Amino acid sequence: MRKLVAAAERKELMYTRVCAQCEPEGEMALYRKITRLAEARPEAIADAAACLRTGGLVAMPTETVYGLAADATSDAAVASIYAAKERPTINPLIAHVLDMDAAREHAMFGSEAEKLARAFWPGPLTLVLPVASTCRISLLARAGLDTVAVRSPSDEAARALIDAAGVPLAAPSANRSGAVSPTTAAHVVADLEGRVDWILDGGPCRHGLESTIVACLSGRPQLLRPGVITQEAIESAVGSPIDLTSRARIAPNAPGQLASHYAPNAELRLGAATTSADEAALDFGGSLKRGASSERLDLSPSGDLVEAASHLFSYLRALDAVGAARIAVAPIPDHGLGAAINDRLRRAAAPRDVPT
C-alpha cells in the first residue's frame, strides 16, 4: 500500500509540474507567433513536421474537424496546446497514430478494442484504453490518468503529417476551448492566428463532426461521446450491446465530455418550432416556421443527417457572426448520426458558468 501511495504522489508531482507550464506568463509568448498558412501539399507538410519535431504547433485537416497538433510525447509541446486553446488541463487529448501497431506502444488492446480498431481504423473512432508499460504519451496529454485516448485518422494530409513527424500527435480541435469546432482552415485562422506556427489547408472536412469515442477498459465497451460512427455500428462490430455515458463528467477521461462545449457566443434555443425577431434560425428539413428572423440556414433541406452533421459547426459559426442574441434550432431526429448532432447542440446550449 505504501508503494502505491508513493507512486501516486510521484505521478501527481509530475502532473503538477507540467501543468505549471500553462500559466499565463508562458502563454504570452505563444500569442506572438507568426502563423504560416499553406495548402496541405508535400513540401508544406514536410516543413510543418519539422516544426512539430522542435515543439511547434500545427493546425491540420482531418476527416472530422481541424486538429491542433503537437508532439504527444513532449510535455512542453502539449502544454503549448493547452495554452493556445485556453483549455482546462483536466481535459485529456487524443493521440493520433498511423495504425494499430503504432497504437500498441502506448495502449493495451483487449478483444473488443481490437474488433473496433479493425472495423473502423483508419477513421473517425477514438478508443480510450489502459496505458501500456511502454507508453510515451505525455502525462499532461493524458490529464494525469492511467488511460490514453488513441485514434488513427483517415485523412491523407493528417496521415502524411503523422508519418513525417515520426511521433504520435496530440490534436484536439483547432479552436479556442469550448468554442465551435473548426471545419475549414478559415475557421482556424479566425480563432488561432498568432497562436500557432502552421495552418495546413486541406479544404472543408469530410464529416464536419468529431470522432466517436469508446472506452474499452473493464466490462462492456462504453460510448463516451457520440460521433460519426453510430452506436448501432459499434454494437454490430463488437457483436453485443455497449454502455452509454448518461451525463457530463466533472473530471473527464476523454475529450468532449464537459457540460458546456462547442458553444457559439449566441445562446441556443433547442427544439424550436418558430423564430422571433431577435433570433437567427438553424433549420433542419424546413421544419421551422417562417417568422421574423431574416438570418436562416438549413442544415439539410432534405432531412439528411449526414449532410446536417457536415454543416453543423460551419453554420453555427456563420449564424453567430451575424450578431444575433439567440439562435433558434429546429428539432433534430435523435437516432443514428442525429444522436451525435444533438449531443453537440445540448453542450453548445448548456449554461456558460460551467468549465469549458
What string of DSSP letters covers 287-342? -S---S---EEES-TT--HHHHHHHHHHHHHHHHHTT-SEEEE-----STHHHHHH
For residue 42, what are the CA distances in angstroms to 64, 102, 174? Answer: 21, 22, 21
3-state secondary structure at position 115: helix
AA letter at 70: A
Q: What is the set of domains in the chain, with CATH numbers?
A: 2-244 (3.90.870.10), 267-348 (3.40.50.11030)
For residue 9, what are the CA distances in angstroms to 15, 41, 190? Answer: 10, 46, 41
Q: Is the dihedral of CA 178, 98, 245, 310 positive or negative?
A: positive
Nearest to 95, CA basis, from 45, 49, 129: 129
pLDDT at 306: 81
pLDDT at 228: 92
What would the mean pLDDT of 82-95 be, rounded to a whole number? 80
Classify residue 348 by its DSSP letter.
Answer: H
Q: Is the pLDDT of residue 75 over 60?
A: yes
CA dihedral 54, 169, 309, 143 (to 10 degrees): -110
Q: Is the pLDDT of residue 107 over 60?
A: yes
Segment 248-285, tens digit of pLDDT:
444 455 555 555 555 788 999 999 998 888 899 999 99
Segment 1-27, tens digit of pLDDT:
343 333 333 343 333 334 444 444 444
3-state secondary structure at position 49: helix
pLDDT at 283: 95
Would you state the cell numbers that stand for residue 36, as one nine-digit string?
504560416
pLDDT at 23: 42
What would the mean pLDDT of 95-100 be, rounded to a whole number? 98
3-state secondary structure at position 38: strand
Would you state the cell numbers that stand for residue 283, as one nine-digit string?
433549420
The CA distance from 173 to 175, in Å, is 6
AA letter at 196: V
The CA distance from 118 to 255, in Å, is 22
What rounded mean pLDDT belongs to the chain?
Answer: 85
Q: Is the pLDDT of residue 47 over 90?
A: yes
Q: Is the pLDDT of residue 131 over 90?
A: yes
The CA distance from 24 to 6, in Å, is 31
For residue 33, what are the CA distances in angstroms to 57, 84, 156, 159, 161? Answer: 10, 10, 27, 25, 21
Would you state the cell numbers that stand for residue 263, as one nine-digit string?
458553444
Global pTM reads 0.79
pLDDT at 88: 61
Residue that wins the pLDDT comparison between 41 and 278: 41
What string of DSSP letters covers 120-152? H-SSSEEEEEEBPTT--S-TTTTTT-SEEEEE-
Q: Which residues pair with 201 in a beta bridge?
A: 39
Residue that wins the pLDDT comparison between 328 and 253: 328
Segment 228-250, tens digit of pLDDT:
999 999 999 999 999 987 544 44
